[in-house]
Amino acid sequence: MIDNDTKLLSRLTAILTQLQTKRLLTATELAGKYAVSVRTIYRDIRALEQSGVPILTEEGKGYTLMEGYRVPPVMFTENEANALITAEQLILKNKDASFVRNYTEAVSKIKAVLRHNVKDKTELLSERTMFSQNVNRERNSNNLSELQAALTNFYVTKIEYRNEANKASSRLIEPFALLSTQENWLLVAWCRMRKEFRFFRLDRIAKLQVLGDKFAPHNMTLQEYFDKYH
C-alpha cells in the first residue's frame, strides 16, 4: 500500500511537471508515458484538481494549466529559451543513454518555468530543427538566434545572400526550418523571389533583417516538408 501511494505521489508530481512543461497534454499521451490506463489518468487529474491545482480542459485538445498559476523563479527571454531547445536537440544525439535521460529531465524542469506563449514557440522550434552528427565544430554565423525568433514568430525576413558562385542577391524569405549538417547550418525558407522553398547556408548570409511583417504559417511538419519536396 505504501508502495502504491509512493507511485501515485510520484506520478502526480510528474504529471504536474509535465503540465508546467508543455502547453497541452492529452490523457492518452500521459497514460502512454507513465504506463497506466487512461482511466487512471482521469483519476490523477481529478486528484490534482481536488488539491487545488487549476487544470483546464480544452475540449478535444487536452489538459493545460491556468496561465499564471505558478510564478516562476526565473524568467527566460525567448532567445534564451530557444538556445536551450537547440542545446537539447544536440544533446539528444549523444550516444550515452543515461546522459541523455538526465539532461532531458533537467530541461523538462527548465521548460516548466516558461510562460505559455514561449512554450508554444519552443515546441515549434524543437519540431523544426534537425541535426546530424557534426564533424566540423566551427560555426561562422551570427544569425541563428534572430532566425529562430523569425521562425517561431512568423516574421518575414530580408537577407543579403551570396550563392556558391559568390553572386549577391537580396531576398525576402519566410523561415521554415533550421538544419545542422556536418558542415554548416542550413535554413529552409520560402523565397518570395523564387516562389519556392530554398536552402540557405547561414555562413553565406551577409546581412539579415527581421521585418515587422508576418507571414501565414506553413502548416506542415518538417517530415511532411521532406516527403513533399524531396
Same domain (yes/no): 108, 51: no
pLDDT at 83: 78
Same domain (yes/no): 150, 200: yes
pLDDT at 90: 72
The secondary element (H helix, E strand) that includes residue 216 is none
Q: The pTM is what? A: 0.56
pLDDT at 154: 96
Q: Are strands 155-162 and 129-131 parallel, antiparallel or unpaired?
A: unpaired
pLDDT at 49: 87
Q: What's the CA angle centered on 228, arms 226 and 230, to 5 degrees?
A: 55
Same domain (yes/no): 89, 45: no
pLDDT at 225: 92
Q: Which residue, among 167, 168, 170, has the nearest Cα to 211 in the 3D structure?
A: 170
Is 210 buried (19+), middle (13-18) or exposed (0-12) by CB count in 10 A?
Answer: middle
List CB contacts of 99: < 8 A, sequence separation 6 or more: 91
Question: At 83, phi and psi to the nearest 5?
Answer: -65, -40
Number of structural domains (the chain) is 3
Full residue range of the structural domain in which residue 9 is found: 2-65
Domain membership of residue 73 (yes or no) is no
Q: Which amino acid is at 204?
A: R
Domain membership of residue 137 (yes or no) is no
pLDDT 10s per residue in the chain (230 long)? 345 666 777 788 788 888 877 778 899 999 998 889 999 999 999 988 887 888 888 887 899 888 776 644 456 677 777 777 777 777 776 555 666 677 777 777 777 767 777 778 878 887 888 766 554 444 456 788 889 989 999 999 999 999 888 999 999 999 999 987 766 789 999 999 999 999 999 989 999 999 989 999 999 999 999 988 87
pLDDT at 1: 38
Cα–Cα distance, 148 to 178 (Å, whole number): 8
Same domain (yes/no): 225, 195: yes
